[in-house]
Structure 1
Amino acid sequence: MWFSKSSICLLTFATLSLAQYTGPCSPSNCGADGRVCRRGWLCVPWPHTDPALRQGCTCSLG
Structure 2
Amino acid sequence: MRPFIFLFIFMYSIGLDAQIVPAEITYSIGAGKYKRATELLLQQPNLYSNPVLLDKLGETYAYQ
TM-score by length of structure 1 reads: 0.33
Between Structure 1 and Structure 2, the one with more strand by share is 1
Larger Rg: 2
Between Structure 1 and Structure 2, the one with more helix by share is 2
